[in-house]
Amino acid sequence: MTDAVTVTDLVVERGHRRVLHELSCTVPAGRVTGLLGPSGSGKTTLMRALVGVQRVRSGEVTVLGEPAGSPGLRSRVGYVTQAPSVYPDLTVRENARHFAALYGRGAGAADDALTAVGMTDAAGQLVADLSGGQRGRASLACALVGDPELLVLDEPTVGLDPVLRVDLWDRFHALAAAGTTLVVSSHVMDEAGRCDRLLLLREGRLLSDSTPAQLRTDSGTDDLEEAFLRLVRTQQEVGASGRGREHRSEGRARSGASRGSEQVSRA
Amino acid sequence: MSAATAVLSPRLTAATTGRVLRQLRHDHRTIAMMVLLPSLLLGLLYLLWRDVPALPGQPSVFDRVGLTMLGVFPFVVMFLVTSIAMLRERTSGTLERLLTTPLSRLDLLLGYGTAFGMAAAVQALVTVTVATTLYDLEVAGSLWLVVLIAVVDAVLGVALGLLASAFARSEFQAVQFMPVIVLPQFFLCGLLVPREQMAGWLQAISDVLPLTYAVEALQEVGRSAAGTGTMWRDVGVVAGAAALALALAAATLRRRSS
């Protein structure tokens, strides 16, 4: 078993809207898997399903060999929400120590996690007094502190300066090298190139499951953002003409892509 | 889904208690208000009734009302503080995060109950000391029993606050649950009108409201030197109501949400 996560025919509905449409995918163990797609594509919903806090309509999510959300997984899976979920009225160190205690670890583990995200100097500060980027790192430290086998990070680099962003990505790869499986979401395509594996999501469907190199080769461009857009267009044409995957109208404007899909699906 | 509900870890409950108390420690104004406000309000009541003569053979109005207030204050304050604290956990995402950790729902709720119960003990010690020294409050029974009843009332407030927060989507709604939960219990507890003089159906409602028993327990301590059977039964009823509210609150905490 080299897959840390297996998702089979996952359907999630929110209100009357279907957010994930029979989505199936896998996440390889010990790698950094990027979950990319535009805002509203279902990235957060999929991540919530992985950590077992999302009510699902149907389908199966298996994480580290157990159904997602099993009590046994709670000390093995770390989750960092998009908005920093730490206590603003506690110091950074107190936050890290609290989550360390919940994972059965001591103050040493909390200090290590703070070092890992470069927050040692701010350890004594109240989270309420921190900048947005610092809060995000404090929140990340509170997940690292449990030394989880699977780390699910929802847009962890939003609001970070480029230097810190590179630092964090290096940290993610160091964790993966040590055996941790990481699922990292982003809506910035330039981060896609840093992932070992890429899951591209659009409108609740899996658009592609490949690697940055594969994606570049398949789409014939080095620009991953452009590759994503070409993929979207190809997909729409496949949907329109059934098997006609070679029909590719290069002239279609970028902004016209989504409007195009409506016309196509009505046809 | 409910497999982890039964699990209760004293270590994780204590971690939660410690965390809630540390949050409180950073909030100096809240601590000051929690500790001093009941004493100041009680002082106002003392001055209000100081020159009103008591009926012969009856305790003074302040002795009767002031003692009862020692149970009402912690109930109201802890209800409000807890419902806001829990609402913050829900809206800030920390609750969702906690639910992905080994912490069980009961650990979380008992952690809150213990932390605010301890805060209530400090509040009660200060208020009882001030009331009996500065305001000459007469209590026939042990003052420790008064503190005990105040703490049990506080835990009831915490438990109902945790439960009420599940039905509040905003702070505006949460604070308005206070009059909904607290005022009817206060009106019907026997302080404003003796329970024997209430209409039968009002008395029946009064019978199922926990604050009624808290007030009766305090009145028992005020009247008799030794703890009476009625008093202990009343304390048990209040504690049972708190346990029931905590269990219901645990049931409203869903790990999975849509």
User: What DSSP string describes A22-67?
Assistant: EEEEEEETTSEEEEE--TTSSHHHHHHHHHT-B--SEEEEEETTEE
- What CA–CA distance (Å, rounded) separates B236 from B220? 14
Q: Domain of A215: which CATH number?
A: 3.40.50.300
Whole-structure pTM value:
0.85
pLDDT at residue B166 tops 90 = no
DSSP character at residue B230: H
A195 and A252 belong to one structural domain: no
**Domain count along chain A:** 2
pLDDT tens for B17-68 read 999 999 999 999 999 999 999 999 999 999 998 888 877 777 788 888 899 9
A207 and A233 belong to one structural domain: no
A218 and A228 belong to one structural domain: no
Picking from B7, B94, B102, the nearest residue to A87 by CB comes out as: B94
A186 and A205 belong to one structural domain: yes
Please name which of B140, B138, B135, B146 lies closest in space to residue B46, comparing C-alpha atoms: B135
A214 and A238 belong to one structural domain: no
The Cα angle at residue B106 between residues B104 and B109, in degrees rounded to 5? 115
B76 — alpha (psi -120 to 50), left (phi > 0) or beta? Answer: alpha
Task: Look at residue A226 in the predicted model and tell me its pLDDT.
Answer: 85
- Residue ending a domain, choose from A223, A240, A256: A223
Picking from B4, B15, B93, the nearest residue to A101 by CB comes out as: B15
Please answer yes or no on whether A89 and B256 come within 8 Å at the CB atom: no
A73 and A203 belong to one structural domain: yes
Q: Does A86 touch chain B (CB under 8 A)?
A: yes
A193 and A228 belong to one structural domain: no
Structural domain for A228, as ranges: 224-267
- What CA–CA distance (Å, rounded) separates B149 from B234? 9
- Minimal Cα–Cα distance from A158 to chain B, Å? 17
A180 and A249 belong to one structural domain: no
A241 and A192 belong to one structural domain: no
A165 and A185 belong to one structural domain: yes
> For testing the chain B interface, which of A50, A79, A85, A144 should be mutated: the one with the most B CBs within 10 Å?
A85
H helix count then E strand count, chain A: 8, 10
Q: Are B24 and B30 in contact (CB under 8 A)?
A: yes
pLDDT at residue A251 tops 70 = no
A25 and A115 belong to one structural domain: yes
Q: Where are the beta strands (DSSP E) in B50-167?
A: none
What 3-state DSSP class applies to B7?
coil
Task: Look at residue A242 in the predicted model and tell me its pLDDT.
Answer: 52
Lowest mean pLDDT among A248-262, B176-190, B191-205: A248-262
> For testing the chain A interface, which of B100, B105, B254 should be mutated: the one with the most A CBs within 10 Å?
B100
Q: Are A23 and A9 in contact (CB under 8 A)?
A: yes
SS3 content of chain B, % helix, strand, coil (to 5): 75, 0, 25
**CA-nearest residue of chain A to B3?**
A71
Q: What ipTM is given for this predicted complex?
A: 0.86
A117 and A63 belong to one structural domain: yes
| Sign of the C-alpha dihedral computed for residues B202, B208, B211 and B215 taken in this order | positive
**CA-nearest residue of chain B to A89?**
B23
SS3 content of chain A, % helix, strand, coil (to 5): 40, 25, 35
Query: Which phi and psi (to 5°) does residue A63 adopt?
Result: -125, 120
Higher per-residue confidence, A141 vs A162 = A141
